[in-house]
Every structure is written in structure tokens, then in C-alpha cells.
Amino acid sequence: MQLTELVLVNYRNYAEQSLEFGAFNLFVGANAQGKTNLLEAILFLATTRSHRTSTDDELIRQGEQTGYLSGSVEDSIARRRIEVGNTRGRRKQVKLDGKIQNRLSNLIGLLKVVFFAPESTAIVKGGPDDRRRFLDSLISQVHGEYLRGLQRYRRALQQRNESLKQIRDRRASRDTLQAWEEPLIASGIDVARRRRAVCEELRPVLLQQQQYLTEGCEEAGLRYAPNVLINEDDEESREEFERRLTASVESDIARGTTSVGPHRDDVELMVDGLDARRFASQGQQRTLTLALKLAEIDWMHRASGELPIVLLDDVTSELDELRTRLLFEALHALPPQVFLTTTRIDPTLFGEMPAHAWEVRAGTANPVEADAA
């Protein structure tokens, strides 16, 4: 899968920029010039979200009222055009091949993406919510019905929480809970099952990638740690979920929030049998994150038949020489379309200047001549 073209209008520090991409794309420039902004724009087209902010207004160029992004995506089946328009104080507007999309989720998966940046180590270092987000985003890009199930689950959860608060404040009776528990349980079971299945599929790949990146020295582990034990039996799963909800109903009412369910799941990550969050060194955490990203690429490729595009933000400053070389070799063997930002061109890494390279300065990207390296 390829992003062939990107247009930015009043996006972050870009006034107007149009770019045509190749298989390997390099953005070079000093700090604070707009390199990450380009990757963020691509991520935004792919997922309708930024990795840095949940406030879309921040993406609009200072002093402007509207911003616009468009991208052309090609996969083995079709060529599509994705557009996103942002207006201050309004909901973003998304178009697919010129047609307005009322559901943003229709867009997810059209441009499959794996994003690796220094802050990606939050998957290892951060809280369970960071790991759930990692898993949810990965699965949603490949299985549309998973995303819809997750959305149903979140709605049911929100409504149950609302009921809990009303019961606490004596504005509703306890019977109101039941209406939300049915969809909560049904969608929750789907979500938990898929997460577990994907973790099972990711585990051997992660193990292999960690060994590759550490030249056989480290063993990575991954285990789905569900909050409610769901199995393949519908009746048993249902009963277990119900039992847990009932057992916690008093404290849930007191707190006005649901304490049981897949929104409390975690994914355990291990290095050599120890919890990576607590025991792994900085370098090990970084390597594990990279191994997860490589596992992500592999999983998406196998599950969907398409290679995702790969966004690498400033990785050469974070990874040591060995890891950087191994990363490039691993990508080269596939190879996906790559977008890489860097402050410095390292000749040992690129040899000659790639055909698609831009110098980014103050919100403008200018093509770099091939002999400039």
C-alpha cells in the first residue's frame, strides 16, 4: 500500500504544500521546522487522529480559520482520495473520493500505518491505557467490525456509567442498569476475544523480532491480561461477565463508574521473563518498542494482505547504530513504503541521497537534489 500524494493547506506551520512520494521518503531539517508535522498529517489522514493532540483546532495554522489535508492512497485493489477539512470550533469533515463521510470510522484502514517515534516507548513504559490504544489501533486498521464493536462497547459503558451516577444521586432506580448491561456484555465479549487472538498471533513474531534486534540475547514476552476472563464458550463468558458486574455493583454506584470489563484490560510485556515496564532498561524498552512495531507491520501484512506504510520519526537519534541498521535491514527485506524524518543525513545509513528527499525549513519542504548528500 502506498501514499502517492499529500496536500496540506494551513496545516500546523504549513501554508500550502504539495508532495509526491516514492517508496522511500526522507524529510531532513533542523529542529522545529515541520518534519514531524508531515508525519502527523499522514497519520491524521490514516486514523483521523493526531498522536500529539486530541484538539483538532491545534492543527489549523495559527491565524487561520480552516485547514485542509488530502492524500491519495493506492493498494492492490483501488486508488482512493482521502480529504479532511478542519474548521475552528467545528467537527472535522472527512471525504472519501469526494463524498462526505458521516462516520469517521469508515476511513480507518484505508491507509494502514505503523508509526514509530521516540514517544512510542509509552507502549512499554506507560499505563494499561497506552497498551490498549496500541492494540485497538492495530486491530481497528485491519478489522472494521472490531472498531464498530469497540464503539458499541464504549457507548454502552458510557451509558451504564451515566446510570450509575443517577442511581447514586437517587435520580434513577437500579433497574436502569440492566438495559446497558446486555450490549455491554455482548460487545465486551467480542472485543476481549479479538484482543486475545491478536495477542496470541503477535507473541511469536515479537519474540522473533526481539531476538533479531538483540542478536539472540533477549527474549521478549507478550501476554493478554484481561480484566474479565472470556473464553470461547458464549454462555460461560456471559455468566462470568455478569457475575463480575454484579459483584462490583455497589462500589460502581458509589464511584459512578464501571470497574469491570475490557476497558480495564492490559497487555503484559516482558523481557527475559521480567515485566518490561518495571525492570527493563531504557535501551531495552526502546528495543522492545521497536520489536513491537516490526511485529505490528508483520501482523498487519499477514492479516490484511497489505503492507502498511511506515512512519519513522527521528528514530536515528534514539536508536544505537546496530539497532538502526537492523531496523533498516528488516524494512528493506519487506519493503513497505517508508517516511523518515531526521535532523542529519547519515551517509553510512543512506549511501547516496534517496530519490525522494526534502529539506524542511519553516513550514516549507523543498526537494533535495540527488547529488547533495
With CB under 5 A, what is the number of residues at the site for Mg ion? 1
In this structure, which long-range contacts are made by residues 269-276, counting pairs with CB atoms below 8 Å and at least 24 apart in sequence?
269/123, 269/124, 269/131, 269/220, 269/221, 269/222, 270/220, 270/221, 270/222, 270/223, 271/210, 271/218, 271/219, 271/220, 271/221, 272/218, 272/219, 273/219, 273/221, 276/124, 276/220
The piece of 33-41, 54-62, 134-142, 147-155 that touches Mg ion (CB under 5 A) is 33-41
71 and 81 in contact (C-beta within 8 Å)? Answer: yes
Smallest gap from Cβ 141 to Mg ion, in A, equals 23
Shortest-Cβ-distance residue relative to Mg ion: 36
- The strand pairing partners of 269, in sequence order, are 222
| Cβ neighbours for 332, distance < 8 A, ≥ 6 positions apart | none
Alpha-carbon torsion (183, 186, 188, 194), positive or negative: negative
For Mg ion, which is the closer residue by CB, 12 or 196? 12
Smallest gap from Cβ 66 to ligand ATP, in A, equals 12
Question: Which partner from the list ligand ATP, Mg ion, none does 31 bind, CB cut-off 5 to 8 Å by kind?
Answer: ligand ATP
With vertex at residue 139, the alpha carbon angle to CA 135 and CA 144, rounded to the nearest 5 degrees, is 145
For ligand ATP, which is the closer residue by CB, 34 or 261? 34
* 37 binding Mg ion? (CB under 5 A): no
For Mg ion, which is the closer residue by CB, 108 or 310? 310
For Mg ion, which is the closer residue by CB, 36 or 163? 36
Question: Which partner from the list ligand ATP, Mg ion, none does 33 bind, CB cut-off 5 to 8 Å by kind?
Answer: ligand ATP
Residue with grid cell 547519515, as numbered in its chain:
346
By CB under 5 A, name the one of 2, 17, 36, 258 that touches Mg ion: 36
* 316 binding Mg ion? (CB under 5 A): no
Q: Interface residues with ligand ATP (CB under 6 A)? A: 12-13, 29, 31-37, 58, 60-62, 314, 341, 343, 360
Question: Which partner from the list ligand ATP, Mg ion, none does 76 bind, CB cut-off 5 to 8 Å by kind?
Answer: none
Smallest gap from Cβ 190 to ligand ATP, in A, equals 38
